[in-house]
Amino acid sequence: MSPSSLSISAAASIRETSGLSDDETGEIRLITDTDALAEACERLSDGDFLAVDTEFHRETTYWPQVCLIQVANADYDVLVDPIAKIDLSPLMKLLADKSRTKVFHAARQDLEIFTRLIGEPPSPIFDTQIAAMACGLGDSISYENLVSRVLKGTVDKSSQFTDWARRPLSEKQLRYARGDVVYLRKIYKILRDKLEGMAAEEDRSSQAIRRILGTMDSYVTDRPS
C-alpha cells in the first residue's frame, strides 16, 4: 500500500502536531576525538533508547565504508566521524548494551555495519519501517515519507548521495545527517506509543472474549437438564 492510499483516520491517529523547526536549527555536535566521544557516550547512556543512523560508501568496496555515525537519545544527539583518528570503542560498547533499545529505519544495512564493528548484531532493535507497517502506514515506507506522514515535515534529501568520505563535511551535510536521528527519535516515540496502545486494546478485547466464553460455559453447565 502506498502512503497516498492510506485512510485519513489511520494516519491522523499517529501524527504529531508540532513542526520540525526546533530540530532543524539545533546544535550540531561533531565528534572527532576519543575523549569527546567518551563524554558524549556518557550523555547518550541516559535513557532507554538510542536512535541510530549511518552514512556510508559502498560503490567500490564489498563491505561498506562507514563515513558518519549519528546517535541520539531523548534530548541529546551527536555525529561521530569514524574517518577521523578516533577509537570507536565507547560507542560500540554503548550500542552493544542490551538494556537499551536501538532504533533504526530499514535497519538491514546499518545492522550489517554494526555487526562487523561490534562482533554481533546490536539488540534489542526497533525498526520504524516495520513498526509503521504494523500501524497501517504501508509496506516498506521510506524515511522521507514516514517523516511526512507522522511529523508532517519535509526531509531535504539533496545531501543523501553526496560524497560522505570527503572532508570537511559541509554544514548542509551535517544538518541533513543530524535530522535523520532527531526526527527518528520523535517517530520512535509516536509509533511505540501507538503499538503499545494497540497491544493494550487487543488485550482488553481478548479479556472481554474470555469473559464472554466463561459466561457461556457457565450458562451451558448451569442449565437444568
Residues 120-170: tens digit of each pLDDT: 999 999 999 999 999 999 999 999 999 999 999 988 877 877 899 999 999
Prior bond of 124 cis (ω within 30°): yes
Q: Is the pLDDT of residue 19 over 90?
A: no
Q: If pLDDT is split at 50, 70 and 90, which confidence band does 64 have? A: confident
Active-site residue (options: 77, 110, 143, 188) = 110
**Helices and strands in the chain: count of H runs, count of E runs:** 8, 6
Please report the beta strands in 73-225, taking only residues with DSSP state E, as ranges in sequence order.
77-80, 101-104, 125-127
Compute the mean pLDDT over every residue in the chain, rounded to the nearest whole number: 86
pLDDT band per the 50, 70, 90 thresholds, residue 57: confident
59 is catalytic: no
- What is the per-residue pLDDT across 177-225, written as a single tens digit (0 to 9) for each? 999 999 999 999 999 999 999 988 888 888 877 776 666 655 555 555 5
Distance CA 182, CA 199 (A): 26
**Mean pLDDT across 73-99:** 97
Q: Which one is catalytic: 77, 81, 127, 180?
A: 180
Cell match 457457565: residue? 218
Query: How would residue 32 be classed by pLDDT, with cut points 50, 70 and 90?
Result: very high
**pLDDT at residue 220 in the model:** 53
180 is catalytic: yes
In the annotation, is 53 catalytic?
yes
Radius of gyration of the chain (CA): 22
Q: Catalytic annotation on 76?
A: no
CATH code, domain carrying 215: 3.30.420.10
Residue 23 appears among annotated catalytic residues: no
Mean pLDDT to the nearest integer, 104-132: 95
Active-site choice (53, 77, 81, 127): 53
Q: Which of 36, 44, 66, 65 is nearest to 53 (CA)?
A: 66
The residue annotated as part of the active site, out of 55, 77, 81, 127, is 55
CA dihedral 23, 25, 31, 37 (to 10 degrees): -40
Question: Is the pTM above the cut of 0.75?
Answer: yes
**Which residues form the domain of 195?**
3-222
Beta bridge partners of 103: 51, 126
Q: What is the pLDDT of residue 24?
A: 63
- With beta carbons less than 8 A apart as the criterion, state whether 75 and 61 touch: no
- The sheet carrying 101-104 orders its strands as 30-31, 77-80, 65-72, 49-57, 101-104, 125-127
Residue owning grid cell 549519528: 70
- Considering its fold, how many domains does the chain have in total? 1
121 preceded by a cis bond (ω within 30 of 0) = no
Tell me which of 77, 127, 143, 176 is the catalytic residue. 176
Residue-by-residue DSSP string for 158-182: GGTTS-TTSSSPPHHHHHHHHHHHH
The grid coordinates listed for 215 are 459466561
